[in-house]
Amino acid sequence: MKLRPLILAVVTAGLLQACVPLIVGGVAGGVVTAIDRRTYGEQFRDTEIERTFNHNFSKELEARTAVSGHAFNRWILLSGQAIDEKAKAEVEALARSVPNVREVYNEITIGYPASFTTRANDRLVASNLKARLLDAKEVSAIHVNVIIEGGTAYLMGMLTDEEARVAITIARSTQGVAKVVSLIEIISPEVARQRSMQTEPVKN
């Protein structure tokens, strides 16, 4: 089955700071779960994409960047900071060289690594946003990955139009969120039901 195209929504809500990212929700850190709308195979594939990206990151490039790669259904989000445009481009090229990557979204900013205070503030914003998603009836928080980077909330996941609308609305109205970037893959309600009940791999 084919999934509908990506919705890329950017909603400005204030000033943007640079920050080292924090990811909350869905699947992170190589954990595979049965409640994810991705199949087990898709989850493992995303874990392998992140592992390969980190493994191929050279010490020389690491010295010029503070970057993280977040994979969801073969899309990879790059967030963090690079010392210059050349380093930023090198990180993107590295991500695109990883097998099975469908698309790369380069949100790296030019600047120095975030301070401890900024990272701590991102943790607080992430907790507040996740708590608000947990309280929502129209969307399940377990289907939304939240990455916070200097007040910017990046949303990833497989959601219906209505679920995506609700998640974006909640994110943009959360205190401390300066901007919302939606990397949500829109699926139909029928596909959402199928994927929520699946036990076998789904072919896209």
Q: Which two tokens stand for residue 138?
A: 């129209």
Non-local (6+) Cβ contacts of 109 within 8 A are 18, 80, 81, 82, 150
Closest alpha carbon to 69 in 42, 41, 31, 29 = 29
**What's the total number of domains in the chain?**
1
Residue 203 lies in a domain: no
Identify whether the C-beta of residue 143 lies closer than 8 Å to the C-beta of residue 157: yes
In a domain, 158, yes or no: yes
Residue 192 falls inside a structural domain = yes
Residue-wise over 104-141: b if at least 16 C-beta within 10 A, else e? bbbbbbebeebeeebbebbeebbeebbebbeeeeebbb
CB-facing half-sphere around the CA of 19: CA atoms within 13 A: 26
Domain-embedded: residue 202: no
pLDDT of residue 19: 38
Q: Is the pTM of this model over 0.85?
A: no
- The answer to whether position 49 is within a domain reads yes
Give the pLDDT of residue 18.
34
Residues 41-58: tens digit of each pLDDT:
999 999 999 999 999 999
pLDDT value at position 176?
97
11 within a domain of the structure (yes/no): yes
In a domain, 204, yes or no: no
Q: What is the pLDDT of residues 129-169, one digit of tens each?
A: 999 999 999 999 999 999 999 999 999 999 999 999 999 99
**Structural domain contains residue 26:** yes
Domain membership of residue 106 as a residue range: 6-197
Check if the beta carbon of residue 145 is closer than 8 Å to that of residue 117. Answer: no
Q: Supply φ then ψ for residue 124, to 5 degrees.
A: -65, -45
Spans in the chain with pLDDT lower than 70 = 1-34, 198-204
